[in-house]
Amino acid sequence: MGHDAAVLTLHDVHKSYDAGGRPVRALAGVSLTRRSGTFTAVMGPSGSGKSTLLQCAAGLDLPTSGSVLIDGVEVTTMSETARTKLRRRRVGFIFQELNLLPTLSVAENAGLPLRFAGHAPDQEKVRAILTRVGIGGRMHDRPAELSGGQQQRVAIARTLLAEPAVTFADEPTGALDTASARDVLDLLSESVRVHGRTVVMVTHDPVAASYADEVLFLADGRFVDALASPSAAEVAARMADLRGDVVEGR
């Protein structure tokens, strides 16, 4: 796939849930195109559809209607098995709950996508990348022996090793202190700017969003606004507008 090709395309994606016979509309026509080497943040009030968007865009869940292409491949018409295969090979995840396999070591977890793709991970490369993300000394530990921030770093190391078409991050800094959060965000930006990876991140944090080259705002299941390379203050102001907050002096 060339550098200019879209690695993620959503076209008019709708998603409704059945909440005990009553339909709940979570996405109401979302379209999106991302090229490789981009870092996108998705923000929006609680219940605006961010998690649903991530689940559909990553091929974890299926939209009610509309189209989702990952690396040029339509996922909505695939079998469950084919979707799982595509995810393993082409999609990176930095999700707190589905990051790591507890029985594998840090090094084995980092190399897992390569194993799924049928390659034996190069141990020297694994070591170098784990060192780069600050956990080179923890290669043989189990995930449970690591802090939340260290576990996020393993997930980032995976993205650097396996070179997925697109990596989805769900609140990657939600559980971290300020310094670890900044480290994780720096590593994510570096993966995009230096290594050409593609990241789509859902966050509530305007500081985290300010690391992205574009911030997309969801409200009631639709994109309502976008900001290019905004400051954290600009993001916070836009979020306050969306929530209808009364901000003094504005």
Q: Which of 171, 152, 165, 172 is nearest to 197 (CA)?
A: 165
Angle at which helices 80-90 and 106-116 cross, to 10°:
120
Q: Which of 237, 200, 232 is nearest to 91 (CA)?
A: 200
Q: By C-beta, is 44 or 164 nearer to ligand ATP?
A: 44
**Which region among 2-10, 44-52, 75-83, 236-244 touches ligand ATP (by CB under 6 A)?**
44-52
For β-strands 39-43 and 214-219, DSSP reports them as parallel
**Which region among 39-47, 109-117, 121-129, 160-168 touches ligand ATP (by CB under 6 A)?**
39-47
For β-strands 214-219 and 91-95, DSSP reports them as unpaired
Where do the DSSP E strands lie in the chain? 6-19, 22-35, 39-43, 65-70, 73-74, 91-95, 166-170, 199-202, 214-219, 222-228
Q: How far apart are CA 61 and CA 219, in angstroms?
A: 20
What's the Cα-to-Cα distance from 162 to each of 11, 169, 186, rounded to whole Å? 27, 15, 19
CB of 230 to ligand ATP, least distance (A): 19
CB 114 within 8 A of CB 120: yes
Q: By C-beta, is 97 or 248 nearer to ligand ATP?
A: 97
Q: By C-beta, is 5 or 98 nearer to ligand ATP?
A: 98
Q: By C-beta, is 24 or 117 nearer to ligand ATP?
A: 24
**Which region among 43-51, 115-123, 173-181, 225-233 touches ligand ATP (by CB under 6 A)?**
43-51
**Which region among 28-36, 46-54, 67-75, 224-232 touches ligand ATP (by CB under 6 A)?**
46-54
Site string (10-29) toward ligand ATP, x via CB under 6 A: -------x-x----x-x---
Contact between 51 and ligand ATP by CB under 6 A: the answer reads: yes
Contact between 243 and ligand ATP by CB under 6 A: the answer reads: no
CB of 50 to ligand ATP, least distance (A): 4
Contact between 46 and ligand ATP by CB under 6 A: the answer reads: yes
Q: How far apart are CA 29 and CA 10, in angstroms?
A: 9
Q: Which residues bind ligand ATP (CB under 6 A)?
A: 17, 19, 24, 26, 44, 46-52
